[in-house]
Copies of this chain bind each other. A is one copy, B any other.
Amino acid sequence: MAFSPALTRLIDALRVLPGVGSKSAQRMAFHLLQREREGGRYLAQAVEQAMASVQHCKACRMFTDSELCDICSNERRDATLVCVVESPADVMAIEQNTDFTGRYFVLLGRLSPIDGVGPSELGLDILRSRLADGSVEEVILATGATVEGEATAQYVADLARQHDAGISRIAHGVPIGGELEYVDSGTLSQAFSGRRPF
């Protein structure tokens, strides 16, 4: 005996979501069917519409419903500053927590030859053409502080250097509010080697 075809298909389909295995998928399906039919219908529509209409910004690869994202089409954003990040979530984090007024370039990943992610998967030809037109004065590297993030930053820096753009890397060190005692060794040694005049 198995679940009905529509329910089996629902459980199976929910497994495309990251971190959702068969038990969670079953729990989600039961929840939708027992308590959230309306929410389920809303979910179906939202997923369908997003799959059809969300695309990548032609200039920065951010998710958008149009050719250009809100930031790239905003004339008041400083086009001479380009902050390079790994994911759309990073853009949101920077927008919500800093007063950065430049533009972005979203790699949608990081260099990882083992996983087949090279410069073209990261859309670096698009970034190259933005650099080539000479309007970018500074590239701010905001990729993650991981081995792959550093390698990616290095690669993007080389690219920027070829086009005579200035290059900076966001600061890494002890987090604000962090107690030295509890900071991991890599961060602490980075904080020392990156010390600045006070």
Contact = CB atoms under 8 A, between A and B. Distances in A.
Interface of A: 1-7, 9-10, 12-14, 16-19, 24, 26-34, 36-37, 39-51, 53-54, 63-66, 69-71, 87-89, 92, 95, 108
A47 B49 contact: no
Contacts of A39: 13, 16
Copies in the complex: 2
A40 B16 contact: yes
Nearest to A27: B18
A16 B47 CA distance: 13
A47 B54 contact: no
Given A63-B33, A70-B1, A48 B41 contact: yes
A47 B51 contact: no
B12 A46 contact: yes
B13 A65 contact: no
Nearest to A14: B43
